[in-house]
Every structure is written in C-alpha cells, then in structure tokens.
Amino acid sequence: MRVAGAATRKKRAAAGVDEAPDPAALLAWYKRHRRHLPWRYAPGERADPYHVWLSEIMLQQTTVKAVGPYYAKFLARWSNVNALATAPLDDVLKAWAGLGYYARARNLHACALAVAGQHGGHFPDTEDGLRTLPGIGGYTAAAIAAIAFGRRAVAIDGNIERVIARLYAIEAELPAAKTEIRARAETLVPLHRAGDFTQAMMDLGATICTPKKPACAICPWMEVCKARARGDAETFPRKATKVEGRLRHGASFVVTRADGYVLIRTRPAKGLLGGMTEVPTTAWTHALDDADALAQAPLKLKWRRLPGVVEHGFTHFPLQQAVYVARAPARTKAPTGMRWVALAELHGEALPNVMRKVIAFAGLGGRP
C-alpha cells in the first residue's frame, strides 16, 4: 500500500472525498516506534501462542507496568501450557495474588487444563476454536488469532476503540458505539501482517492517541483523523454518564496467636474473589454496625476496633471495611473452615489486594 502525499490529500479534501486511514502508514510507524514488551516479538515474527495468551489474560483491565513482573514470574515457574496445567489451582492463585480480578486466574488454570487435555497442548489457531476455551472471549480470541497465528482477526481493546472512535468521529455513546467501531475496524485490518497491525493499533492508542492530550501532531494518521480536524479528539469516544455502585460496608477480624500465627480462611470457589485467602470477614452489605459485626467474630476474644476504615474499589461498588484485632492464646484451635498460618508464611498466601490492605492496616508487617 502507498501513503498518499499531502497534495493528494488536499485535493481529496477539497473534493469532499474522505480518505481512509492507510494501514501501511501505521505499520511503518510501528516498525520504528513499537513498544518493547516482554511478550512482544519483532515485526514479522510469529509469536508463541502461550506467551500471547498469558499476556492477554493478565492485561485485561490491568496496566502493562503491573503485568510485567507477574508475566515473568509465571513464565519462570510454568514455561509452557502443559506445565501450567499440572500446577495445583491454589499455587496459581498464590502466584496471581495482588494482580486483581481473580476470576482470570481460575480461568487461566481451567484453560490450561483444556488445552493440555483436549488439544494436545496446542492452542486452536482460529477465533472460533479459541473461543471454546475457558476465559477466552471475543477480544482475546481475536488477539491470539492475529498475533500468534497471523489470522485476519479484528481485536478491539480500549486503546483501539479510542483510535477508531476518533478517526471517524463516531458520535454514538459507548457501549452502543461498539457496533460501528467494529465495522470501521474491519475495513482497516490488512490481509497480511494482521498481528503486527493489531499491536500497532494498541501502541498507537497507548502512546499517541491517549485519553488526555493526544499527540496528534506526530500521529501517522493525523491527516485523515476527523476528530483531529474538528479539534475535539479528547471528547471521543463518547461515553454515557457512569453510575457508580452503592457503597458497601464490612468488617474483618485479624486475630494473631501468641505463638506467631494468624487466622485465615479460603473464600468459596465461585463468586467474587473465589478461591482466594482472607482473614475472617463479614458479608459486605449496605449497612453494618459494630454489634452486627462483633456477632460474627470467629472467636470469643477481647476484640478492639481500629480507628478508621479500609477503603477499596471493586468494579461495581466501593467498599469500606472496619478492622477488629485480637490476641488468642497459643495453640488455640481454628474454627471450622478456617486455619492458622505462621505470620512469616502469610505473604505466600493467595491474598487479594483488599485483604493485603486489611492486614497492613492491622500492622502485620506492612503489605505482604
């Protein structure tokens, strides 16, 4: 494909002809300016499907900076999908602890089992085949198909969504705009180098076409971007007013034993934070007073409520937790469904971020 010159673009604009973004211009920009990420292969190289899949699952609703150390840790421990499939789920959850959105870790393990057990350790090489696997939805299937297998697939993440919405100045609000965004994106994906094109689009959104103060002057598609021509790129994509979930309250009980142990338990496998580790905690409700909370304490001890609350934001609601602390005699037995773990070993448990905050708030040696 050939990039049209400035004179040609001006003639088309004067004639009222819309010029389509040129994939070749973006690929040329990507060759010079691509991000060097741990899971990235050089332009034109075919990536390892396991690496692509692992990175894409970790990157869901999580920043590149946060994912980097976890990606390296997983690869060092489980170098391929068969190795991950043989790992106990609890080990996977422990390795994932702190990365958030823990259903991803459970799906990661389930997917590894499916690939190893049903596909001989090889990922399907089509979107349809990939979508049959646990935890792989439309975007992830398209990303793996394009990047790992060179398929002409349309993968649309938040960065690509923003780029397309601005290129065409799409007025519809999200999520209604997704249909038009996808239709527009489908016209741009080249027959060859679909994986490089997908990653180039991601990089364009992450480094140039950013949510605030986009660097339009150095964008390879600046001449054909309608939002740039209008001067209101930051207003795209259009978004409906976000309705924040209603505040919930809870209480956590941090009890240490005189011989250096702390009481914990494992959350149910299904539901929010399924299979993760926590200190005994009440349900998270819209109203909770001290009397209600203390009635749910795991042991009959002299409990002391710490001043203040622990705040944490989940996707659909904000949470405030009161924290109660107590001391138990050495060798006190754990209540049914709970267990004691040595304080020195607490950091190795599958603690979600909200529990890490609680433990730090209780003064147990900072965030494990």
Q: Can you state the angle between helices 138-149 and 194-207, rounded to 10 degrees? A: 120
Tell whether omega for the bond before 318 is within 30 degrees of 0, i.e. cis. Answer: no
The kind and range of the H/E element at 146 are helix 138-149
Of 121, 127, 122, whose CA–CA distance to 140 is shortest? Answer: 127
Query: Measuring CA to CA, how many Å separate 353 from each of 66, 133, 182, 256, 345?
Result: 13, 27, 34, 20, 17
First to last CA, the chain: 53
To the query of whether residue 244 is one of the catalytic residues in this protein, the response is no
183 is written with which tokens?
A: 């239709």
Of 49, 113, 123, whose CA–CA distance to 83 is shortest? Answer: 113
CA 31 to chain centre: 26
316 is written with which tokens?
A: 């659909």
Active-site residue, selected from the candidate residues 19, 56, 223, 349: 56
Say if residues 124 and 130 touch (Cβ distance below 8 Å): yes
**From its phi and psi, is residue 16 left (phi > 0), alpha (psi between -120 and 50) or beta?**
left
Count of C-beta atoms within a 10 Å radius of residue 168: 21
Count of C-beta atoms within a 10 Å radius of residue 7: 8
The residues near 47 (Cβ < 8 Å, ≥ 6 apart) are 39, 40, 41, 147, 148, 195
Taking the C-alpha atoms of residue 8 and residue 26, their distance in angstroms, rounded to an integer, is 18
* DSSP assignment string, 22-81: -HHHHHHHHHHH----TT---TTPPPPHHHHHHHHHHHTTS-HHHHHHHHHHHHHH--SH
Q: How many residues can be counted in the chain?
A: 368
The catalytic site residues sit at 56
